[in-house]
Structure 1
Amino acid sequence: MIGAGMGAMAAAARLAVAGHRVAVYERTETYGGAVRRFERDGFGFDTGPGLLTLPAVYRDLFVKTGKEPLEDVVELVQVDPAARHVFADGTEVSLPNASRAGVVAALDEALGSGAGERWGDFLVRAREAWDRTRRPLLEEPLWPNWQVLAEQEPYPSVPHKRLLRTRRAGTPAEIGAWELRDERLAALLESHVLGYGLDPRTAPASAAVLPYMEHAFGTWYVHGGIRELARAVYERCVQRRVEFSFGAEVTGIVAKDGRAVGVELADGTVAEADHVVADVAPARLRALTEFPLDEDGDVRPDPVSPPPGRFTALLALRGGCEDRAAHRTVVHAPDSQTELDFLVSPGGDEPVCPTVTVLRPDDPALRPDDAHESVVVSAVVSTEAAWEDAGTVRRYTDFLLEAAGSAVPGLRERLLWHEVRTPEHTENETGAGFGAVPAPALAAGGGRFLHPANTTRLPGLYRVGGWSHPGGGLPHAGMSGALVAGLIVEGPDFRGSQ
């Protein structure tokens, strides 16, 4: 196993239970990939994902790999409200967790009569897209005829008449303009899409499944931070006698007679294996083997190069969190179009304030005492911006602090210190070029939003984690581990998770 990310560990635990001897080689000094923690002066912060959707993926992992269920090793807390949104015009709305009626009522009250119904109707259509794609895009290995997924748009757009022509929305931005018909509802939809590093103007309409997943299955927090989930998965692997080697960089994949038979480490040693599973970005995987992994007709992810990353500020505050403060607040960009333009083409223009997410866990495990608070503020940003320049970092820090003031009363006066993390930090921790963050796989879009299959053209070599099918995000990474384990244990006839 190359890498100790969440996908790799999910596969490792399942393979160990199936009777395989599993060895994991991780080039850094810890597990979890992007799921990490920063600690200082009694404060703790998640530096990767801060919330969990689809916890059933990890519940299934723990059911299949041992007697202790997930809830016995971590404390899952349903976040309510799911999010508070502060729109560019100053309008605010708090959306309850996993309650269609509650969301409809909240939107009607905040945005005006009819807004909630339009959003509710959109969620019904998004459910259709989810039902059509859940199996092939989350629970099954990538189809050999994946072109079917690439060509067919599963989102049932509402016909829109314009200038004697009938059109159907093909992107989230068009869904917002033609079906939601309110700039704030459009911003609500687009923030879900942007949060995964996707441009709502070019992503397929099938991205509607992203807000639907959160709505249908809820938003969850792990007490102590999401890093506790990574710890629990790692400890389950150790209990199943998975062997971990940290500070052990794999420099090559050994092939013999047209099959992967082991890995070569930086110190020159070779570890033999019946199967090699790689939890690394595509460019890194190609560099590890001389065997041609890609050919014409293979899945080609979105050619935008490189994909976006994240800029994060970790805030240590004096004073405790006020009662009933929202765990998550999304502060929408004052100019969303300019934000998106800069995201895909940062050269030459001055950056603008992005859409900012503020996480306030109010978790005693993440602060020195009740007289303090730890807050994580983040935004999706271009990985091509000049992150080595102190002025760029300072400008984005100011953007985030200014936006966070809408979520945290008296923020500037309460700030004890802050740490910032740029895409360069992500690159160092995950090995992904430029610090890019993978998005979940989506149908339609000509296949540009799919990810390479878990199997490769080199027999015995498998892909796992966010850069392979079914893509990025904690649930998807966990499912990639289940798919790879199934392919190894059951062989090419494996048809997916049950």
Structure 2
Amino acid sequence: MARIAVVGAGVGGLATAARLAATGHEVTVYERSDTVGGKLGRYSRETPDGTFHFDTGPSLLTLPQVFTELFEATGAKLDEYVDLVPLDPIVRHVFPDGTRLDSCAEPTIFADRIEEAFGAPAATDWARLWRRAERVWDASWRDILRSPVDSPLSLARLAWRLGDLAAIAPGRTLRGLGRHHLRDPRLRMLLDRYATYTGADPRRAPAALVAVPYAELAFGGWYLRGGLGTLADALLSRCLDLGVVVQTGTTVTRIEAAGGRVQGVRLAGATAPARADVVVANVDALTVYRDLLPSPSRLTGLTDRSLAGFVLLLGVRGSSGLAHHTVFFPDDYDAEFDAVFGHPGRGVPARPALDPTVFVTVADDPQVRPDGHESWFVLVNAARHGRSMSGVDWRRAGLAEAYADRVLDVLAARGVDVRDRLVFREVRTPADLASDTAAPGGVIYGTAGSLLRPANRGPAHGLFLVGGSAHPGGGLPMVTLSAQIVAGQIGPA
């Protein structure tokens, strides 16, 4: 039995802790916040009209089989803890010309919807792309997503499968893949959006990210009744039932190591380190290698940060008739990416996009809003917080409120005007996410769009990395798979 310290009680940290405790280890989780869940955050607002509840992080659960396996591995059943609700549509896409396309988890039905919205040639194009996406997904699931990947050589294991290599198309971008397969610009726009699932610009993101829409549309999108934050509650409950000690309000200031091995963690205000045989870091890899266990050689490539998000939490009177998820696309998608990422090499700084894509989540769930009202989560892509050319100083006086006004004006221009129906609005910027979750710059996914993320095994013996900034990447299922990989590397007691 090893003494294991887990730094951070996000989904990756809690999932790892539960797996390790179930195999006999002594596990303690240290969380700087007063609550668990990390970026799977929640917010509640009491008003005279009633209480509004919001998920402030992920709003969609995909690959439910990953979570089913996690709970079974720890001796429980997922449906005993959360109530999964399948979504149809998974996402409603509203394009600049006013056409709509509802995605769903039935390929034949989705193809019919594409044909009805865009015509038969568009449906044929999508079917051809779908076959390629399936090959990429199968190769990724078999060889990458559930296995350690420590270097570019690890990815070379695919090379001998020529069919896989051709489908993955190394060197081609997601944008290039869309232009090759899809003639309709609206379908290309839909495909481009999946690059933002990894925090990337589709013009630079690898074509292999075509596996992302496949995973969503093949296995479905799900909502958890009461909000996705209930997943954090479920994981915490599993951990406590398995004997994990969870210390919230406890900040780890350093990972202690000597002789090439971890020794434990240093806690803020403590006179001596908390001893541990193994340390699992569920914090951003940049924070680990810059601050907790300085490792300059490991910082290479970690400065290419993903995009962040600008969020409005709205209490709205009345009913909007919106789908659970609705995406309103702009006229010029490239202008949005030019703004969010900037061109530092050309002296063009990142900035708020004037005409952004707007993603609105409205859960038809009486547990999260008063009768006769709706709780709206509104998200737009945003540059990270910072004062460099690749960031925006979201703390600058007046900027957040002015941009919130702009986002509401954009929504109104696209046919959804709620400005006269607001009970309240709460503004969350990348600076707030940076403060709340210690995510550098408030970025969502760590390194932007790369297939090769920091390895799960750290440079000191007994150090492991888990979570969205490490392999296999961001998003709830990927983070949960990273926990499976790490627990497998550590092994049973």
The alignment of Structure 1 onto Structure 2 pairs a total of residues equal to 469
Decide whether aligned partners of structure 1 residues 290 and 481 sit closer, same or farther in structure 2, where only a CA change above 3 A counts: closer
Residue 329 of structure 2 is aligned to residue 332 of structure 1: yes
Among candidates 51, 54, 61, match of residue 60 of structure 2: 51
TM-superposition CA deviations, 1:354-390 (whole Å, max 9, x none): 1111111111111122x11111110121111231124
How far off is 1:89 after superposition? 2.1
TM-superposition CA deviations, 1:449-492 (whole Å, max 9, x none): 3111111120011111111111111001111111111111159x
Who is 1:341 aligned against? 338
Instruction: Specify the SS of the correspondent of 1:175.
Output: helix
Q: Is the 8 A contact 2:306 2:448 kept in 1?
A: no
Among candidates 265, 276, 279, match of residue 279 of structure 2: 276
Q: Name the % identity.
A: 38
Decide whether aligned partners of structure 1 residues 349 and 420 sit closer, same or farther in structure 2, where only a CA change above 3 A counts: closer
Q: Is the 8 A contact 1:302 1:449 kept in 2?
A: no
How far off is 1:178 after superposition? 2.3
Whichever residue aligns with residue 382 of structure 2, its letter is V
Decide whether aligned partners of structure 1 residues 223 and 303 sit closer, same or farther in structure 2, where only a CA change above 3 A counts: same
Q: Is the 8 A contact 1:357 1:378 kept in 2?
A: yes
Instruction: Specify the SS of the correspondent of 1:411.
Output: coil
Deviates more, 1:120-129 or 1:383-392: 383-392
Who is 2:409 aligned against? 402
TM-superposition CA deviations, 1:124-163 (whole Å, max 9, x none): 101111111213321111155325279899574699xxxx
How far off is 1:230 after superposition? 0.9
Who is 2:388 aligned against? none
How far off is 1:267 after superposition? 1.1
Deviates more, 1:279-288 or 1:256-265: 279-288
Decide whether aligned partners of structure 1 residues 289 and 34 sit closer, same or farther in structure 2, where only a CA change above 3 A counts: closer
Instruction: Specify the SS of the correspondent of 2:144.
Output: helix
Question: TM-score, normalization: structure 1?
Answer: 0.88
Q: Is the 8 A contact 2:149 2:155 kept in 1?
A: no
Instruction: Specify the SS of the correspondent of 2:60.
Output: coil
Q: Is the 8 A contact 1:377 1:404 kept in 2?
A: no
Who is 2:383 aligned against? 382
In 2: Cα distance, 1:47 partner to 1:282 partner = 22
How far off is 1:403 after superposition? 4.2
How far off is 1:421 after superposition? 0.6
In 2: Cα distance, 1:425 partner to 1:310 partner = 10
Task: Give 5+ residue unaligned stretches, structure 1.
Answer: 160-167, 443-447, 492-498
In 1: Cα distance, 2:294 partner to 2:420 partner = 57
Among candidates 454, 465, 484, match of residue 456 of structure 2: 454
Decide whether aligned partners of structure 1 residues 123 and 396 sit closer, same or farther in structure 2, where only a CA change above 3 A counts: farther
Matches within 5 A, 1:154-233: 154=164, 156=166, 170-233=172-235
Coordinate RMSD, CA, aligned: 2.5
Whichever residue aligns with residue 219 of structure 2, its letter is F
Deviates more, 1:181-190 or 1:249-258: 249-258
Decide whether aligned partners of structure 1 residues 266 and 476 sit closer, same or farther in structure 2, where only a CA change above 3 A counts: same
Decide whether aligned partners of structure 1 residues 421 and 132 sit closer, same or farther in structure 2, where only a CA change above 3 A counts: same
How far off is 1:173 after superposition? 1.2
TM-superposition CA deviations, 1:157-199 (whole Å, max 9, x none): 699xxxxxxxx98111112222101110100101122243111
Task: Give 5+ residue unaligned stretches, structure 2.
Answer: 1-5, 343-347, 385-390
Who is 2:311 aligned against? 312
Q: Is the 8 A contact 1:440 1:472 kept in 2?
A: no
In 2: Cα distance, 1:115 partner to 1:141 partner = 38
In 1: Cα distance, 2:147 partner to 2:470 partner = 13
Instruction: Specify the SS of the correspondent of 1:39.
Output: strand
Residue 70 of structure 2 is aligned to residue 71 of structure 1: no
In 1: Cα distance, 2:246 partner to 2:351 partner = 46
Among candidates 110, 117, 128, match of residue 121 of structure 1: 128
TM-superposition CA deviations, 1:11-34 (whole Å, max 9, x none): 000111111110011111111110
Who is 2:3 aligned against? none
